[in-house]
Amino acid sequence: MENDAGHEIAEALGVLLKRTTRARLYQGLTDGLGEGVDELTYPVLSGLARSGPRSAAELAPEIGLDRSGVTRRATRLEEAGLVRREPDPDDARASLLVLTSRGEETVDVLRERLAGHINAALSDWEPQEVAVFARQLREFVMRGPFRAADEDDGTR
Amino acid sequence: MENDAGHEIAEALGVLLKRTTRARLYQGLTDGLGEGVDELTYPVLSGLARSGPRSAAELAPEIGLDRSGVTRRATRLEEAGLVRREPDPDDARASLLVLTSRGEETVDVLRERLAGHINAALSDWEPQEVAVFARQLREFVMRGPFRAADEDDGTR
DNA sequence: ACCACAGCGTGCGCCGCGCACGCAAATCTG
DNA sequence: CAGATTTGCGTGCGCGGCGCACGCTGTGGT
């Protein structure tokens, strides 16, 4: 069945995921950004930048990890000075993860690098083609079949 | 920068990768297919189905793993009766990984399930929209910024 | 005031991976 | 043809990340 788009998408995703498993996001994406930040800690940074200060437990399902995993990664970022732990003003036992100024700078750099690599790879596409693809991919990811089991619908 | 497609794609990929890290491909994708097959061994099956019998070392860069990792996964599949090791007729020290009939059936089932889930998720898209997206995604994966460091160009 | 409960961080065990070693076969060299 | 080097495979070892379960502290209800 050659013209079955589902198979084609599945195949492409398979290759993509295998690659990103190893060369996680991009070779040397986090070079020169200090010790704490790597492919593992980046999702924490990105999540915090997207949603503002949050607790580790609240961040966990979004990253697809246990709370303990987020705690460890956040600790690494804390030691690197990119994340700060603040007591939740509403709940003294909860501690909020907050990006420091250096953390915000770092995530900005990472985002810029990522977008740059992607735009460069798509430089020979038609601009409207790229725009369409971006919207479709976003839609596919949001409504597609890859939703985690215990994930809220993103409306916050 | 709202209309920068690079950022939008990067964001979507980030969410996708985080999700697929945990709920690897699809919840319950490998249910009822026996003990040996899971999200880890699937790439081996898929790779063998795509390229025919190959050695573990030859398969490794495509999966993004060390040879030893492929060996272990293949061993698991072998124990489950989905993969058979055959001595390479041209080289007695090399052993080729070959899908058994059950292995082929299994990978067919998996492919069908994956394509089914994807098509279902995209059921409210225009058919030509889906086709365009599939081609673009394939193009993006093949020529995009996520190539592994030591990977051939796919032309075989 | 007491008591179940919620939230966090951490020790423990598991699992997968990369590295390096040993063995067997092939290829090279004289 | 014989010895030496290279190639390819599988496996033992150590490392690192993860999930689970525990203990501790604070919260809310009765």
The pLDDT, as a whole number, for residue B155 is 36
Whole-number pLDDT of residue A144:
64
Residue B145 makes CB contacts below 8 A (sequence gap 6+) with A26, A117, A118, A120, A121
Residue A47 within a domain: yes
Q: Cα(A143)–Cα(B103) distance, rounded to whole angstroms? A: 31
What 3 state SS string does chain A have?
CCCCHHHHHHHHHHHHHHHHHHCCCCCCCCCCCCCCCCCCCHHHHHHHHHHCCEEHHHHHHHHCCCHHHHHHHHHHHHHCCCEEEEEECCEEEEEEEEECHHHHHHHHHHHHHHHHHHHHHCCCCCHHHHHHHHHHHHHHHHHCCCCCCCCCCCCC
- Decide if B110 is inside a domain: yes
Q: Are B141 and A26 inside 8 Å of each other by CB?
A: no
Q: Which residue has the higher pLDDT, B51 or A154?
A: B51
Residue B8 lies in a domain: no
Q: Which helix (H) or strand (E) element contains residue A16? A: helix A5-22
Q: What is the pLDDT of residue A73?
A: 94
Q: Look at A141 and A116; give whichever has higher pLDDT.
A: A116
User: Where is B75: in which H helix or E strand?
Assistant: helix B67-79
In a domain, B5, yes or no: no
**Stretch A18-43: mean pLDDT:** 72
Answer whether residue B92 is part of any domain: yes
Residue B139's pLDDT is 85
Nearest nucleotide to A71, CA against C1' atoms: C9
Q: What value does the mean pLDDT take over residues A39-44?
A: 87
Å between A79 CA and C18 C1'? Answer: 27
Q: What is the mean pLDDT of residues A24-40?
A: 75
In a domain, A95, yes or no: yes
Closest alpha carbon within chain B to A7: B115
Q: Is B65 domain-assigned?
A: yes
DSSP B25: S
Range of the domain at A106: 7-143
For residue A11, the surrounding DSSP H or E stretch is: helix A5-22
Please report, for the domain that includes residue B113, its CATH number. 1.10.10.10
The pLDDT assigned to B24 comes to 52
Could you read off the pLDDT tens digit of each residue along chain B, which spans 156 residues? 556 877 787 777 776 666 555 555 555 777 777 788 888 898 899 899 988 999 999 999 888 889 999 999 999 999 999 999 999 999 989 999 999 999 999 999 988 888 888 888 888 999 889 888 888 888 887 776 665 544 444 333
Contact A5 B122 (CB under 8 A): yes
- Asked if residue A151 is part of any domain, the answer here is no
Q: How many domains does chain B have?
A: 1
